[in-house]
Chain A
Amino acid sequence: MSEIKKHDTQMVSELKSGPWPSFVDDIEQYGEKHKKQACFDLLGQLELSYKHKETHWKHGGIVGVFGYGGGVIGRYSDQQEKFPAIWAFHTIRVNQPASKFYHTSALRKLCELWDNRGSGMTNFHGSTGDMVLLGTTTEQLEPVFFDLTHQMNMDLGGSGSNLRTPSCCIGKARCEWSCIDTQELCYDLTMTYQDELHRPAFPYKFKFKISGCPNDCVAAIARADFSIIGTWIDDIRIDQEAVKAYVGGELKPNAGAHSDRDWGPFDIQKEVIDLCPTQCMYWDGEKLHINNKECNRCMHCINVMPEALRPGTDTGATILMGAKAPILEGAQLSTVMIPFIRLEPPYDELKEIIENVWMFWMEEGKNRERLGELMQRVGLANFVEIVKLKHIPQMIREPRSNPYVFWKEEEVPGGWKRDIKEFRERHPA
């Protein structure tokens, strides 16, 4: 093994101090131990970026594995002479297990694979959820893929204009609030739509994200074209004794989330009743009363008193569509499309809706038009009709304030064909 070359990284090295875990120390230590030039070249290039205040990665680069149109992102340094070990430094997205539990036997083997075939550096995890293997050459892409599929039973995630790797919250595995089996649904959708995930056929990216309750720990409502968020339609379960224990100060409000500051004694009126957005509850000194019909399931009371309150047991999910970051038409949150759907395997009803949406988007969507932008372009009312749903007030925050309704000819008695002569007989010009 040839001697490694270290670069002057004065500025970057300043990021070794301070209490937060230092990625610089980690990369340097790893580079030393494994004699990986790529680690030192990466830090060297980062130093150059700190000098120039500009990136030194070239634009794009189309690479991949045979038969897939995604999962690998090509990356080349524009400093080939200075940092030859990272000249080609491609990213590989590996589909994570739903909700990111691991056994060390799987992680250790993945580490061996990546020491052998790549830089040893990773992102755990990418924003979308994949395990991201950071930095390898083009010749290594197929062997990495063969290693993953033959030695790890793992597969690539999504990139480009395809279904992106679905992700979900921890769900019922460790959360008492989850109204749906988030992992199972995530796994099922991922397996059902492997073709859509690996072979780009969409106008642009498409994301599924699944949260178990309206706290929305995977940010489905902000990030997913198709957001699935657990909810319930019956009554919040109440343990009145536990409510009393909160009022009496025996239990810590919000599960102890405010423990390092003196906020005074717990005040159920001020901290729960008055903050309820629908004002659907009251405390009579002995008992907590909830008018569940008026509840909008915001989770606040449940969050504050987790020992006393739990979501109901008649559960399912709300489907919302169209979220995206600002590029291009501005940021969008997902819009309510289906207030309640029961989600049990094999999820046929859900899949029918998904496929209706895709069919329309693939037909009508322009190049690089996210679903949310298409929804705006065709108008919510039209979109609802096209994907075969019913128009209901839950889809809007408030009614329109302009009267410019696109009436259809068949909605108006007599239609639009009229005779100007007849009109003028009644109304001489």
Chain B
Amino acid sequence: MSDQIYQKIQEAQLDEIFSKPYDPELGEKLYNPQKPMENRITDIGPPYYAQFFPPVIKKNYGKWKSHEIVQPGVIKYTSETGDVVYAVRCGTPRLITTDYIREVCEIADKYCEGYVRWTTRNNIEFHVTDEETLRNLLEDLKNRKHPGGSYKFPVGGTGASVTNIVHTQGWVHCHTPAIDASGVVKAVMDDLFEYFGSHKLPAQVRVALACCLNMCGAVHCSDIAILGIHRKPPLVEDDRLEYVCEIPLVVAACPLGAIKPATVEIDGKKKKTVRVNEQRCMFCGNCYTMCPAMPLADGEGDGIAILVGGKISNRVSPPKFSKLVIPYIPNEPPRWPTTVKWVRKILETYAQHARKYERLGEWAERIGWERFFELCEIPFTEKTMDDYRLAYDTYRTSMHFKFTSHVEIK
């Protein structure tokens, strides 16, 4: 074990720069547009991590022995030194203002000596070392609400729960989305709220949302993935394309070779542009990423696909991809009722039928996907059959199947 790293962590000191007041005018004073290199500091990287460790975390680095979830959202860690720390996990909407962060700071200053942590799944973790502070913190968190009545810091997301949804930017801040992100997440989590703060499921259920096929986030390996899709081929803006796009790059960007260069005449002038073989388009949007003159977004065309059964952990079975089970649900702002309904249906069918420890994908594989469709009452369509690369891997080439309602027996 690297004593050297342990030692370095013990010696870490909170950078004094953070206690110096912020100077709102310093940026203008130091930056000289005429001499952009003047006063410029580059490549200093992120702050050293260990300066932000709470004392108990620092002291027990590498010495943790075991843990126990004492109630949903509260994990107690025990160290070989005999020290304990309670981590209190709260959900957040990820899209948060500086005032929300200040409120997090206020809580951390009051109960946690000024330290706080965020998780990979947009949860906040507060660390306390004694039960009385823990009780006071939990009580405090419960009473913090927004004017509309929502909790600011719901406690949960541990064990066999639905933890926070990792998601993307959607219509709030992205240029290629087929759906919103924050709104859909809010609607789904409102509905699944009881599963965030409890341990009722057979195993943890990881829900993720990506607002287009670029998938900024690991939706492709989630128990339930909500994915924004387009269904109309790109428009081609002939009069603008040659000025804003590199035609060879656009042609090369299409994974199915459906785009070819073309020349058109507009007002007697020849313009270089492209043509799309619409029959071959799979609506991936890669052309639009390369070329702003080929927008795909369409209120009627766009919507949600649901994929299920993926996982990251190596536990019991290897990591696996999520599989497409519902090819399309229309966009239904502001509360996406059909999407919410199907996510709940899939979750509760799984909760009812799966065995303890079984992840959603493991359950679906054990009972067979034909049974999954039957139990979840999801109509099976040809769109779930793969016809892209490596599709053959998904074909059934054995006699091992079940006679579900899909089989017509005459």
Instruction: List the interface of chain A (C-beta within 8 A of B).
Output: 11-12, 14-27, 29-30, 33-34, 39, 42, 45-46, 49-50, 52-60, 66-68, 75, 89, 91, 95-117, 120-129, 134-135, 142-144, 146-147, 149-155, 167, 169-170, 172-176, 181, 183-184, 186-187, 190-191, 194-195, 198, 214-219, 221-223, 252, 254-261, 263, 271, 275, 277, 297-300, 303-304, 306-307, 310, 313, 325-331, 333, 344-345, 367-368
Contact = CB atoms under 8 A, between A and B. Distances in A.
Given A103-B51, A173-B53, A331-B321, A26 B357 contact: no
Contacts of A56: 171
27 contacts: A11-B333, A14-B334, A18-B193, A20-B91, A22-B148, A29-B97, A30-B98, A50-B171, A57-B174, A75-B173, A97-B48, A97-B49, A101-B54, A107-B102, A114-B98, A122-B97, A123-B169, A126-B216, A153-B15, A172-B61, A176-B67, A214-B313, A258-B199, A260-B72, A275-B316, A297-B314, A306-B68
Contacts of A258: 159-160, 199, 356
A230 to B, nearest CB: 12
Contact of A216 (B42, B68, B312, B334): B312
Contacts of A300: 315-316, 357
B353 to A, nearest CB: 14
B97 A30 contact: yes
B146 A21 contact: yes
Q: Which of B97, B146, B187, B200 has the most CB of A within 10 A?
A: B97
Interface stretch (B273-281, B295-303, B372-380): B295-303
Contacts of B62: 172, 181
Interface in B284-342: 284, 286, 288, 292, 295, 297-300, 302, 312-317, 319, 321, 331, 333-335
A52 B298 CA distance: 8
A120 B249 contact: no
Nearest to A56: B171
Contacts of B42: 67-68, 149, 155, 198
A58 to B, nearest CB: 6
A142 B97 contact: no
Say which size band chain B's interface belongs to: 35 or more
Q: Which of A55, A147, A306, A344 has the most CB of B within 10 A?
A: A55
Nearest to A104: B105
A45 B175 CA distance: 13
A97 to B, nearest CB: 5
B99 A30 contact: yes
A255 to B, nearest CB: 5
A300 B99 CA distance: 41
A256 B69 contact: yes
A29 to B, nearest CB: 7
A306 B67 contact: yes
Interface in B209-228: 210, 213-221
Nearest to B56: A174
A217 B215 contact: no
